[in-house]
């Protein structure tokens, strides 16, 4: 039975662009730099006690190790790592969302290609502090330490433990990631009161292999889930190919004959009761191949009460920059 898609060809790009806040570097839907070995971008909404709302986007990147190529590049644990921090405080006088950014130790090619020149801070050290004021007048201080960070799996862009990244906005602890780093992280928690509300809106990951696993929560009070995406083509001995998405080891998508089923969507109910929509678009990966730079895109979105029965979003909403309701996970996989 053939699996027909019920959305337009541009739906994946539109949904990804809106979920990413309309910013990000190059490519469809604000795609990350495909020549990085790995990258992870998380978008947070923070409400301060002053009722000011911030969008904080944190991007972790890992470059390809010098001299590595092909499968070696995908499996290499080396390569430079970087952090990019972007603040959008919603000012009508400020540049477009995510343009007023402070980039910390990230390769220059990951900066937004179309945004006005942001205030950029490049760090050579793995620990330190930086302070800046946005165009809307928000005073921001950043404290980080990744000198002892551990990465799992090896070659991942985002640390898994023994690090911290703290963002203080107008004297409130807007974001604290990692929590490691010893006395420095504890000092930040003691000095600054936490912001009243914080929510993770979306997470975007990029990998240089076509089987990729990540972990996330689709709702704040839900369980953590393991999500695995896979593309199989000629290199697996399958002429027709296969696309699969698994959550907690259970397949929720298994689309064979990729030349017909390169786009599609599924609805799945997880063990903790969360309802998620799974969308895939592997057209460029299947038809363009390595020489064409084709990538496979997967999106998993928690269905929220505000969705009103809609599957994903329509083109008008996406073009206006409205993000989908609920948590949004976007995975991009490239051939090397």
- In which band, very low, low, confident or very high, does the pLDDT at 183 lie, cut at 50, 70 and 90? confident
The three-class DSSP label of residue 52 is coil
Q: Mean pLDDT over residues 21-37, rounded?
A: 53
Spatial separation of the C-alpha atoms in residues 101 and 55, rounded to whole Å: 11
**pLDDT (tens digit, 9 = 90+) per residue, 258-287?**
888 899 999 988 887 888 899 999 988 888
- In which band, very low, low, confident or very high, does the pLDDT at 85 lie, cut at 50, 70 and 90? confident
Spatial separation of the C-alpha atoms in residues 133 and 94, rounded to whole Å: 12
Would you give the DSSP letter of residue 116? Answer: P
Q: Lowest mean pLDDT of 14-28, 54-68, 189-203, 248-262, name the range.
A: 14-28
| Whole-number pLDDT of residue 324 | 56
Asked if residue 10 has pLDDT above 70, the reply is no
- In which band, very low, low, confident or very high, does the pLDDT at 51 lie, cut at 50, 70 and 90? very high
First to last CA, the chain: 32
Q: Mean pLDDT over residues 123-147, rounded?
A: 85
**Which carries the bigger pLDDT value, residue 14 or residue 34?**
34
H-assigned helices in the chain: 11-19, 70-75, 183-191, 283-288, 315-319
Q: Mean pLDDT over residues 322-326, rounded?
A: 59
**pLDDT (tens digit, 9 = 90+) per residue, 191-236?**
999 999 999 999 999 988 888 999 998 877 778 899 999 988 766 5
Bridge partners, 197 (sequence order): 47
Burial of 326 (0-12, 13-18, 19+ CB in 10 A): buried
Are the CB atoms for 41 and 55 separated by under 8 Å? Answer: no
- In which band, very low, low, confident or very high, does the pLDDT at 305 lie, cut at 50, 70 and 90? low
**Which carries the bigger pLDDT value, residue 63 or residue 11?**
63
The three-class DSSP label of residue 245 is strand
Asked if residue 101 has pLDDT above 50, the reply is no
Half-sphere exposure of residue 191: CA atoms within 13 angstroms, side-chain side: 14
- In which band, very low, low, confident or very high, does the pLDDT at 325 lie, cut at 50, 70 and 90? low
Q: Where are the domains of the chain?
A: 1-36+208-336, 42-206
Asked if residue 134 has pLDDT above 80, the reply is yes
Q: Which CATH class is domain 1-36+208-336?
A: mainly beta
| Whole-number pLDDT of residue 222 | 79
Residue among 286, 283, 253 nearest 268 (CA): 253
> If you average pLDDT over every residue of the chain, what do you get?
74
Q: Mean pLDDT over residues 69-95, rounded?
A: 64
Spatial separation of the C-alpha atoms in residues 163 and 102, rounded to whole Å: 19
């Amino acid at each position: 039975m053939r699996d027909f898609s019920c959305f337009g060809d541009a739906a994946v790009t539109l949904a990804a662009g809106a979920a990413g806040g309309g910013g990000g570097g190059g490519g469809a839907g604000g795609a990350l730099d495909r020549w990085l070995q790995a990258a992870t971008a998380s978008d947070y909404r923070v409400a301060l006690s002053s009722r000011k709302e911030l969008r904080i986007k944190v991007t972790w990147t890992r470059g390809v190790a010098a001299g590595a190529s092909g499968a070696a590049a995908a499996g290499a644990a080396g390569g430079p790592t970087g952090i990019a921090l972007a603040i959008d405080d919603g000012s009508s006088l400020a540049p477009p969302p995510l343009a007023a950014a402070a980039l910390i130790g990230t390769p220059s090619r990951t900066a937004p290609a179309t945004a006005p020149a942001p205030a950029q801070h490049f760090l050579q050290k793995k620990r330190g502090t930086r302070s800046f004021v946005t165009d809307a007048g928000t005073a921001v201080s950043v404290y980080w330490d990744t000198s002892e960070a551990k990465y799992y799996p090896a070659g991942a862009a985002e640390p898994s433990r023994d690090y911290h990244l703290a963002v203080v906005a107008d004297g409130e602890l807007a974001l604290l990631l990692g929590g490691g780093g010893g006395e420095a992280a504890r000092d930040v928690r003691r000095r600054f009161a936490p912001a009243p509300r914080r929510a993770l809106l979306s997470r975007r990951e990029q990998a240089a292999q076509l089987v990729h696993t990540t972990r996330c929560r689709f709702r704040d009070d839900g369980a953590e889930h393991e999500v695995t995406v896979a593309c199989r083509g000629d290199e697996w001995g399958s002429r027709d190919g296969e696309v699969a998405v698994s959550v907690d080891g259970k397949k929720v998508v298994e689309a064979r004959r990729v030349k017909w089923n390169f786009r599609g969507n599924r609805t799945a109910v997880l063990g903790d009761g969360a309802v998620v929509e799974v969308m895939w678009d592997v057209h460029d990966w299947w038809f363009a191949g390595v020489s064409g730079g084709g990538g496979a895109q997967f999106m998993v979105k928690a269905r929220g009460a505000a969705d009103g029965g809609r599957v994903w979003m329509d083109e008008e909403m996406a073009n206006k920059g409205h993000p989908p309701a609920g948590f949004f996970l976007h995975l991009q996989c490239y051939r090397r």
